[in-house]
Amino acid sequence: MTKRLGIGFIGSGFITRFHIQSFVAVRDADIRGVWSPNKKHAKSAAELANSLRLGEANAFKSIEDMVASPDIDAIWLCGPNHKRIENLEAIVKTIKSGKGSLKGIAIEKPLARNAAEAKKVVELIEESGCLHGYLEDQLFEPGIVKGRDIIWQRAAALTGRPYLARAAEEHSGPHMPWFWQGDLQGGGVLNDMMCHSVEVARFLLTEPGKTRNSIKPVKVSATIESLKWSRPEYAKLLRKRMGKEVNYLKRPSEDFARATIQYVDDKGLPLIAEVTTSWSFVGAGLRLSTELLGPEYSMMINTLDSGLKLFFSREVKGEAGEDLVEKQNAEQGLMPVVANETADYGYEAENRYFVNCFLDGKQPEINVYDGLECTQLLMTAYMSAEQERTVAFKPKDLDKYIPAVAKGTWKA
Ligand SMILES: NC(=O)c1ccc[n+]([C@@H]2O[C@H](COP(=O)([O-])OP(=O)(O)OC[C@H]3O[C@@H](n4cnc5c(N)ncnc54)[C@H](O)[C@@H]3O)[C@@H](O)[C@H]2O)c1
C-alpha cells in the first residue's frame, strides 16, 4: 500500500480554502482535520474537503487535539500573521509533551511579522524536530518553473547568466480587516505581498541545481507610499467596509511598495531584483507579472494575459463575485479568466512537493530558513524606505527593528 499523509489545517479562511481546492491534484494525501477558533468556519472548511473527496476531515476542538490525533501526520499553518507564534507554540508544546507526533509542518507566507518573530519561528521548528516547509506558492507557478528551466538550459548556458529579474504582485486590497492593520499584519502591502516577489526574483536569478545562497543579497533600496487608501474618501470607504479599527486617516499602512535588491553571484557578478507590490491596482483582478532578462534573451509572464476571455454587455448585470479571477473588480465588459487558479498560482505543485517530501522523510528545500531570510530582506526594505537611503544587507540590530507602519507611527 502507498503511504498516505494525513493533513490538518490551522485556520479555515481564504488560503486554507485555496489549498483545499488544490489538493484534488495531489496524490497520497488526505485532509483529515481543520482547527479554527470559529468552529462553524472550521466545519465548513472540513465539509469543503469532504465534498471534494479529500477527507474524511473533521473540525477539531483545539490545536493540541489535532496534533495528538493519530490521523494527523502534518500541519499546514494558515492562521493570521499575529497568531503565528502562538499557533506554532501550541503545536510544539504538544509534540514535546509526547502527546502527538508529526512528520512535517508547512507554514504560510510571510513567515512572521518581523525579523525577531521569524527567528522565533525557526527556533520553535528546530525544537519540534519536524521536517519543515515555507509555503511560497509562486515558486511553483508552472510558467515560472518552465520559463526558468528553458532560459537557463538554452539561453544562459550559451550566452551567460541572467542579470535582472522583475516581479510584481498587485491587486485592489485584501479581504479581511487584520491585513489592513499594521500591528496585526506586520506592515502593509510590503510585508503582505513583497515576500512573493522577492522569492520569485531570486529563484529566477539562481542557477538550477545551485543553492539559494549561491547568490547573495548585498544592498536594498525601497520606497513605500499610501497612494489610494489614505485619501479621505477612500479612508472612509475602507472604514465602512473593514470596521472602525481600520482608520487610514490616523493609522495608515502603505498600499504601494517597491524595492531594488542588489545581489552578487558566486563569481562576483552583479544582479538586480526589482520588486513592486500594490493594493492600489484596479484592473480585472490579481495581477502577477514577472520578467527575467539576460544578455541575449528575456522571459515575461502576466497572469491576466490569460487564454480565456469573456465579454458581458451592459445588459448582463450580475452580482459581484470572484469566479473569474482572484480579487475580481468587475463583472462587465471584456474580462480575462484564470481558468485554474490553484494550478496557475502554484498551489497544486507546491502541495504536491511538500506532501512528497514529508512522506519520503526528506527535508524540503524551501523551508523556514528561506522564510527567515526573506523576512530579513523585507525588514531591510522598510528600513531603507523610512531612512530614504540604500541599506547594506544585513543591517545590524535588524532583530530589534519594527517598521513604523507596524508600530502605528507611520505618516502617509
Ligand atoms: N500564499 C498566498 O498567496 C497567500 C494568500 C492569502 C493569505 N496567505 C497567508 O495565509 C495566512 C492566512 O490568510 P487568509 O487570507 O486565509 O486569512 P483569513 O482572515 O481569510 O483567514 C484566517 C483564518 O484564521 C483563523 N484564525 C483566527 N484566529 C486564529 C488563531 N488564534 N489561530 C489560528 N487561526 C485563527 C480565522 O478564523 C480564519 O479562519 C496569512 O498568513 C496570509 O499571509 C497567503
The pLDDT assigned to 162 comes to 98
Q: Which atom number of ligand 1 is nearest to the Cα of residue 12?
A: 39
Instruction: Name the residue with the closest Cα to ligand 1, atom 38.
Output: 13
Instruction: Name the residue with the closest Cα to ligand 1, atom 31.
Output: 83
Q: Which atom number of ligand 1 is nearest to the Cα of residue 13?
A: 21
**Alpha carbon of 11 to ligand 1 centroid (Å):** 6
Instruction: Name the residue with the closest Cα to ligand 1, atom 36.
Output: 11
pLDDT tens digits along 69-101: 999 999 999 999 999 999 999 999 999 999 999
Tell me which of 14, 44, 347 to substitute to probe ligand 1's pocket, judged by most ligand atoms within 8 Å of the beta carbon.
14
Burial of residue 321 (CB within 10 Å: 0-12, 13-18, 19+) is: exposed
Instruction: Name the residue with the closest Cα to ligand 1, atom 4.
Output: 15
Q: Which atom number of ligand 1 is nearest to the Cα of residue 15?
A: 16
Q: Class of 139-340+373-407 per CATH? A: alpha beta
**Domain segments of the chain as ranges:** 5-137+348-366, 139-340+373-407
Tell me which of 63, 75, 76, 108 to substitute to probe ligand 1's pocket, judged by most ligand atoms within 8 Å of the beta carbon.
108
pLDDT tens digits along 131-167: 999 999 999 999 999 999 999 999 999 999 999 999 9
Quote the pTM value: 0.97
- From 3.40.50.720, 1.10.3430.10, 3.30.300.210, 3.20.20.100, which CATH number describes the 5-137+348-366 domain? 3.40.50.720
Whether the predicted pLDDT of 67 surpasses 80 = yes
**Alpha carbon of 63 to ligand 1 centroid (Å):** 15
> Which residue would you say has higher pLDDT here, 254 or 318?
254
pLDDT tier for residue 41 given thresholds of 50, 70 and 90: very high
Instruction: Name the residue with the closest Cα to ligand 1, atom 8.
Output: 15
**Alpha carbon of 8 to ligand 1 centroid (Å):** 14
Q: Is there a shared CATH topology between the 5-137+348-366 domain and the 139-340+373-407 domain?
A: no
The pLDDT assigned to 49 comes to 98
Read off the amino acid at residue 166.
R
Q: Which atom number of ligand 1 is nearest to the Cα of residue 110?
A: 43
**Alpha carbon of 263 to ligand 1 centroid (Å):** 32
pLDDT tens digits along 348-406: 999 999 999 999 999 999 999 999 999 999 999 999 999 999 999 999 999 999 999 99
**Alpha carbon of 400 to ligand 1 centroid (Å):** 25
**Alpha carbon of 78 to ligand 1 centroid (Å):** 5
**Alpha carbon of 348 to ligand 1 centroid (Å):** 18
The pLDDT assigned to 412 comes to 85
pLDDT tier for residue 1 given thresholds of 50, 70 and 90: low
Q: Mean pLDDT score of the chain, rounded to an integer? A: 97
pLDDT tens digits along 191-248: 999 999 999 999 999 999 999 999 999 999 999 999 999 999 999 999 999 999 999 9
The pLDDT assigned to 292 comes to 98
Q: Which atom number of ligand 1 is nearest to the Cα of residue 87?
A: 32
- Say which residue the cell 544585513 belongs to: 394
Length of the chain: 412
| Largest distance between two CA atoms of the chain | 63
**Alpha carbon of 116 to ligand 1 centroid (Å):** 20
CA distance 198 to 276: 9
**Alpha carbon of 15 to ligand 1 centroid (Å):** 6
- Which residues have any ligand 1 atom within 6 Å of their CB? 10-16, 36-38, 41, 78-81, 83, 87, 108-109, 137, 176
What torsion do the CA atoms of 182, 107, 221, 208 make, to the nearest 10 degrees?
-160
